[in-house]
């Protein structure tokens, strides 16, 4: 989850899956957990996925999970290997769009443990460097 905007509140979801692990449902399950967490724990009202217009698999995942195509635009994200501006798709979901049918049961404890672990590391780093966190 990235680009969190607390004024709206909204966030984006980005993902990558190595070719050896594609088509196993890992990305769909992870995104589902993030959707549930974002809407029910963080209080988000909008979640977006931006993918290259040629990335058929990412577009399929967004559509399968209930995201709606909001726009196509050039220049939202650059092509990773060059600075070429690409045409991208922006998919969005609001807290009522198909969320319950994709609910994941394991995510809450897992995400809280993960966040607690990351916060613990950040707090230790802050203490070591005398930064006020």
Average pLDDT of the chain is 79
pLDDT digits (tens, 9 = 90+) for 29-47: 889 888 888 988 899 999 9
Contacts of 104 (CB under 8 A, 6+ apart): 29, 32, 33, 36
Output the pLDDT for position 116. 55
Number of domains in the chain: 1
Residue 22: CB atoms within 10 Å: 11
pTM over 0.75: no
Q: What integer pLDDT is reported at residue 133 of this predicted model?
A: 46
What is the CATH classification number for the domain harbouring 6?
3.40.630.30
State residue 69's pLDDT score: 96
- Can you give the residue range of the structural domain that contains 43? 2-129
Confidence of residue 63 (pLDDT cuts 50, 70, 90): very high
pLDDT, residue 2, reads 85
The 10s digit of each residue's pLDDT in 78-124 is 777 777 888 999 999 997 556 555 555 555 555 555 555 555 655 66
Give the integer Cα–Cα distance in Å for 40 and 95: 9
């Amino acid at each position: 989850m990235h680009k969190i905007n607390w004024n709206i509140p909204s966030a984006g979801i980005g993902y990558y899956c190595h070719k050896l692990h594609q088509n196993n449902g890992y990305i769909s399950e992870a995104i589902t957990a993030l959707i549930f967490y974002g809407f029910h724990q963080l209080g988000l009202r909008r979640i977006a996925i931006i993918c290259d217009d040629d990335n058929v698999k990412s577009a399929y995942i967004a559509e399968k999970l209930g995201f709606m195509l909001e726009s196509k635009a050039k220049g939202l994200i650059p092509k990773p290997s060059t600075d070429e501006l690409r045409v991208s798709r922006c998919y969005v979901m609001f807290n009522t769009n198909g969320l319950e049918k994709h609910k994941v049961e394991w995510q809450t404890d897992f995400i809280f443990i993960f966040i607690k672990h990351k916060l613990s590391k950040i707090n230790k780093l802050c203490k070591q460097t005398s930064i006020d966190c």
